[in-house]
Structure 1
């Protein structure tokens, strides 16, 4: 957050806001109620949710597009408190960790089967709305209207109809609502699609995947807020290594762990697959007597411990270990359940003061070999020796103190 704030401030300082190739600001949406997606609920809201559950004030929990049982640190207490909720409703299409605790499962359509609209957050500087239409029929459609899957918006609209609630929407289905938005664009008589009738306009929107108006541009100036002093980082723990969790290139945050072809996709750097590994500097590993495949216990200041396989390499800083997100699911199908470790479990309850996000890189941990060894499944097999820069093609940059030490 602080880095992005500094970047935009510097661009404002040199007059690059509103210029092509630099910072382009987006205009307001042409449709009321259709806006860019919000960044999501911050970690502090989930912490508050856990406390509300503990107090008994949460009677019904509806979960869509999230897996808090898997994704929250253990110290938040969500796992031990979730059983206090009277009714849990999940809209997941997979039996993930949270869904396995649900009382009612209403699996929503896959995004390839559903309708939707979207305004890109990183826009192009003029009014743009993307229209999403199903590219395949719902896979379980043949089972009947009340069996199989249903769009999340349609579920909520159906519930409102049963409860006799007026949502103020023009339509009985989500497709009707999206089509009504297209009618409003047609009535504006501008933009990328010219048509004599709404039917032709609607077909044009679906053919192009959206609507845009290059003449409806965003502002070329914005008054920035004052730049505040960047707060000092807060690091928790007295361990020897900074813990740097990182999204897996294949599994991302763990949402792809149920797919075997993603489990088998090699990491771009280590080429490791199907497991959780610990990236550690090879010289530090030598000092500790750790070799590739050694099982390591990683313990944080919370007292929680996970086990993962060592992957020494020359690219990791001496005082850092890196562990990918993605594995360690309690439930998530045959390919993910019980595989590897979930680094989220050992993180401390620390949040960024300004954004409320989880400060997942603010932990120092201790590591200890268990004495067990397991071959790391990976694409490149075994590297007998790290590459060497014999011709000195790589430029090494020293700090001033290091230069003095060298001389």
Structure 2
């Protein structure tokens, strides 16, 4: 089967960020399928070209074909970002139209809905099955986070596109367990909606043997403060990292330190907010193959979420998969419908945006016995293997594309 995936922000396995479609494709290729991913050659959020010398080109990455397409460069989060999305719609559509190959399936995948819309037109041109993959509920995410109002022109536009692509899709894949109910509420057939969460390649566990470039620096911090609570990931508003920073006022600096690893739009503001605390440290992101080795230095790993009704549809955080694979106790601040930390018996949950309760949770996890930490490590791996093993999810993805019956547990959902 030939599968085309349109994902504006798709990445190679060596890139820092979400590599969902490469990871799924790796096993599709292994099972004899052909996969082509259409992605932007301008790296969103890093605001730079992947290769300044070329903007439109093809690349074979371990058997997965990446079609890198030009998109309008931009910086920040203003109107140029919308034009960047629109340019992806046109360039991916043109690139796909010019390819002589005929795919069996075209998957249009959100971050934004212009990718889903381009997927629709390509599927009609190529006479292929059309699948929409929804990883973010647009425009609902923007509205619930307060970025735009319900009456904003962008909300109206994305709402129209949302309804159109849902209606036209042969099948709909979602990464959030609560999304089917929302999509069904818009008048769509629930029988064409399939849940496939984000996953992780279990073989990555071998990366625990790698050496982190931050090992010496974090080890020195650990000698000074005894224990480490670590966050690795994006530093954005949705990550609610101020909750973690502000919890430092309730902690004894001689007993533990906070270590933040990563980048994002809120990083500098967070560094300024943490200046009054002597036990809060920030490091830039590490190469992808060092993430697990870096996490392994920690005593506790942390996730913080905003207190928003949007999470009634669930979450699918890639960082949680890394956290579970490394097997460290997880402190999760959030109110979500699918609390993976609780389901995996991987740590403790506290209410979101409450620094004092976050500090209490940290104290509890930092004082676990060796037996309790071993139990967390074991249950975390078992849950990950059962629910987020990318090889199993790849089989499920192909089954949705081909509409073959998925044997495990009797159905696809």
TM-score by length of 1: 0.29
TM-score by length of 2: 0.29
Q: Which has the higher helix share?
A: 2
Larger radius of gyration: 1
Question: Which structure ranks higher in relative contact order (CA pairs < 8 Å, sequence separation ≥ 6)?
Answer: 1
